[in-house]
Amino acid sequence: MKVTLISALIGVAVAGIVAAQQGPPQLSPATEELAKRFPYPVIRDLRGVIPRGPRPLPSPPLGSGPWVYSTFEQRDIKVSVVTTGLSHPWSLAFLPDGSILITERAGRLRILRNGVLDPTPVAGTPQVLSRGTMAGLMDIALHPDFAQNKWIYLSYHKPLAPGVAANSVLRGTWDGKALTDVRDVFVSDDVDTEASRIVFGKDGMLYMGIGGPGTGPHVSVDRAQHTNDLAGKVLRLRDDGGVPPDNPFVGKTGYKPAIFTLGHRVQLGLALNPYTGEIWEHENGPNGGDELNVLKPGRNYGWPIVSYGRDYNGPRFPPSAPGFEEPLVFWVPSIAPSGLTFYTGERFPGWKRNAFVGGLREGEVAPTGQLQRIVFNDNWEELRRESLLRDLHQRIRDVRQGPDGSLYLLTDEDPAALLRIEPVAPTPTA
For residue 264, the minimal CB distance to Ca ion (Å) is 7
For residue 194, the minimal CB distance to Ca ion (Å) is 16
Which residue lies nearer to Ca ion by CB, 121 or 298?
A: 298
Distance, CA of 258 to CA of 199 (rounded, Å): 15
CA dihedral 88, 162, 35, 138 (to 10 degrees): -20
Which residue lies nearer to Ca ion by CB, 191 or 271?
A: 271
Per CB under 5 A, which region of 126-134, 158-166, 285-293, 398-406 contacts Ca ion? 285-293
Size of the site for Ca ion (CB under 5 A): 3
The b/e string for 243-260 (b: 16+ C-beta within 10 A; e otherwise) is bbeebbbeeeeebbbbbb
Pairing outcome for strands 396-401 and 407-411: antiparallel
Classify the phi-psi angles of 220: left when phi > 0, otherwise alpha if psi is within -120 to 50, otherwise beta.
alpha
Residues 104-133 contacting Ca ion, CB under 5 A: none
Give the dihedral sign, CA 199/185/142/147: positive
Which residue lies nearer to Ca ion by CB, 4 or 74?
A: 4
Residues 52-71 contacting Ca ion, CB under 5 A: none
Residues 291-310 contacting Ca ion, CB under 5 A: 291, 301-302
Q: Pick from 189, 220, 226, 224: which is nearest to 209 by CA? A: 224
For residue 291, the minimal CB distance to Ca ion (Å) is 5
Question: Which amino acid would we find at residue 356?
Answer: F
Distance, CA of 302 to CA of 324 (rounded, Å): 5
Enumerate the β-bridge partners of residue 110.
102
For residue 289, the minimal CB distance to Ca ion (Å) is 8
For residue 265, the minimal CB distance to Ca ion (Å) is 8
Per CB under 5 A, which region of 35-43, 132-140, 229-237, 287-295 contacts Ca ion? 287-295
Per CB under 5 A, which region of 89-97, 143-151, 165-173, 288-296 contacts Ca ion? 288-296
Q: In what order do the strands lie in the sheet with 407-411?
A: 67-69, 77-86, 416-423, 407-411, 396-401
Which residue lies nearer to Ca ion by CB, 104 or 281?
A: 281
Q: Indicate the residue whose CB is closest to Ca ion.
A: 302
Q: Are 345 and 356 in contact (CB under 8 A)?
A: no
For residue 301, the minimal CB distance to Ca ion (Å) is 4
What mask, x for binding Ca ion by CB under 5 A, covers residues 230 to 259?
A: ------------------------------
The alpha carbon of residue 67 and the mean position of all alpha carbons in its chain are separated, in whole angstroms, by 26
The alpha carbon of residue 12 and the mean position of all alpha carbons in its chain are separated, in whole angstroms, by 22
Distance, CA of 267 to CA of 269 (rounded, Å): 6
Which residue lies nearer to Ca ion by CB, 147 or 321?
A: 321
The b/e string for 155-176 (b: 16+ C-beta within 10 A; e otherwise) is bbbbbbeebbbbbbbbbbbbee
* Residue 342 within binding range of Ca ion, rule CB under 5 A: no
Per CB under 5 A, which region of 139-147, 192-200, 283-291, 402-410 contacts Ca ion? 283-291
For residue 87, the minimal CB distance to Ca ion (Å) is 32
Give the dihedral sign, CA 365/367/371/373: negative
Which residue lies nearer to Ca ion by CB, 11 or 302?
A: 302
For residue 325, the minimal CB distance to Ca ion (Å) is 7
Which residue lies nearer to Ca ion by CB, 282 or 361?
A: 282
**E strands of 109-250, at which residues?**
109-113, 116-117, 137-142, 151-161, 164-174, 179-191, 196-200, 206-210, 233-237
Which residue lies nearer to Ca ion by CB, 200 or 301?
A: 301
What mask, x for binding Ca ion by CB under 5 A, covers residues 353 to 372?
A: --------------------
For residue 266, the minimal CB distance to Ca ion (Å) is 12
Which residue lies nearer to Ca ion by CB, 150 or 265?
A: 265
Which residue lies nearer to Ca ion by CB, 153 or 301?
A: 301
For residue 134, the minimal CB distance to Ca ion (Å) is 19
Pairing outcome for strands 151-161 and 164-174: antiparallel
Residues that bind Ca ion in the complex, under the rule CB under 5 A: 291, 301-302
